[in-house]
Structure formats: structure tokens, C-alpha cells
Amino acid sequence: MKTFGVITSIGMVVVLIQGVLVTQTGSGDACGAEWPLCLGQIFPESPTIQTLIEYTHRVVSGLLGMMVISLAIWSWKKLSHIRETRFFAIVAILFIVFQGLLGAAAVVWGQSDAIMALHFGFSLISLTSVVLLTCLAFENNISKLLVRPTMSRAMANYIYFVLVYVYFVVYTGAYVKHTESSAACVGWPLCNGQIIPSLSDPQIAVQFGHRVAAASLFIVILAWYIQLWRNYRGQKLLHYVGLISLLFITTQVISGAVVVFSGYTLAASMFHAIFISLLFTVVSYGALLAFRSNQE
């Protein structure tokens, strides 16, 4: 189960990267307005590069969907004695299904940018639920004292806030992509040479809003880690979660600058998406620790 969980987690990262690739290359319509068929065929003939990108994303997503469902059922049977297993198993199945249905609806009927931005968020929740199920498998044979830290209710609530805020920043980033607002702000950290640019252009407003949200997230996580350093250094697991989160958000901010200075290249954008995904996953585990602390 541990091995299968790790493989499935890696596979979900691949699906997430493929989704970014589809968006970045504008390949979402490359199979026509059809689903699950591609250009009216099970295996498209003489496909273009964009068609291959979209078709491969569909195939890998379908395969990983079956793997996620298998892991959820397997965990439900073997780890039912762990309190959180059934919740994460249900979430894993629900969101992998939501993700597929939203993708299919976007192909067949089209969706607004606001709705399409949720697609990345659903992928992120699917990834996180799979990773957390895998974590439960690894936790099964170790002392409960190591995975149930003690913390104040205020600290637990702050971790919940961080998790929600990370998801909000993820959504704003996805919205930037789907509204094609990435290049609306020239330069970094200033936007078009200004601390606060004119927001009359909707694309500038969207891009600048994302930058403000991302900068605020760095401050939020830095404040979180400072509190962990002062008051919870003895809680090793909790402390490491905060430290890794700080490292990831720092890398995320730097990667955002690289995206701008590199001219919004595909590699830089994919790197940017990977680290925000890892950050959300780590903070989610922190929220799990907070939940356990409150239960105890």
C-alpha cells in the first residue's frame, strides 16, 4: 500500500503538470468539442503536437483516476482503524471525479475563466488527499505520540487559516492563466514600474491582485514559522512542517520572479505550479496535525 500510494502520488503530480502544459500551450480544444473521444476517434490519426498533449493528458488522467479509486478502497479496508482514513478516501474519489467531469464539461460546452480556474484547485485537492492517504499508511506502524503534537487552539486555527489562504492564492494564480493576464505586469516586484499600478485594465488588476495575495502569503507563513520556532520547537513534526512550508513559499516567490524574467516560459511556469502544489500538500498535513491536537 505504501509503494502504491507513493506511485499514485507521483502520478497525480504528473497529471497536474500535464494540466499546466495543456493550459500553457492552449491545447484544451485540440481534440475538438468531444469527450471521451478525440476528433471523433479513440486513437486520433495524424495528431498535431497540441492534440497529443491533450490526448495524453486525458489518458493519464483516466489511468490515475482508477489508481486513486483503488487506493481509496484499499485504504478504507486496511486502515479503517485510523480516524481520518475514510474522510480522505471519500475526498480522493469525489474530487478525482469532479476533476474529470469539469474537464469534460469544459471541452464539450466550454466554461467561464472563473470556473476553469477551479480545475487546477480540484487537481490539487485530489493530489493532497492521495498524499495524505499515503501518509496514513506510513504512520500506521509508528508511535501515535509522534504524529499527534500538542498545540493551542489558536495555533490550530491559524494553520486552518493558512491552508484556506494557500488555496485562495492557488485560485488567483489559475485565474491569471485562464484570463491570459500573465504578461499584464511588466517587471518584478513592481508592476509596470509602479508600486500600485492603474487597475483600470482588468488583466492588470487580476495579475496585480495575484501578486499581492502571493506576497501576503509569504508574510503569513513567515509569521507562522516564527511562532513555531518560539513555542513549538520541541514538537519536531509540527516544526518541520512549518519549516518546509517556509522553504516552499520562498521558492514559490522566487519562481514567480523567474517566470516574469524568463518571459513566461513553459518550464518556469510548470516549476511555479509544482511548488505551490507541494506547499498546499504540506500545509494540509499541518492541518491534519492541528485537527488531531484538537481531538486530543
- Active-site residues, by number, are 54
Per-residue CA distances from 83 to 19, 76, 133, 269 (Å): 32, 11, 12, 37
Q: Which of 267, 272, 222 is nearest to 252 (CA)?
A: 272
- d(C-alpha 89, C-alpha 85), whole Å: 6
Contact 11, 60 (CB under 8 A): yes
77 CB neighbour count, 10 Å cutoff: 11
Phi, psi of 41 (to 5 degrees): -130, 155
Q: Is 82 left (phi over 0), alpha (psi -120 to 50) or beta?
A: beta
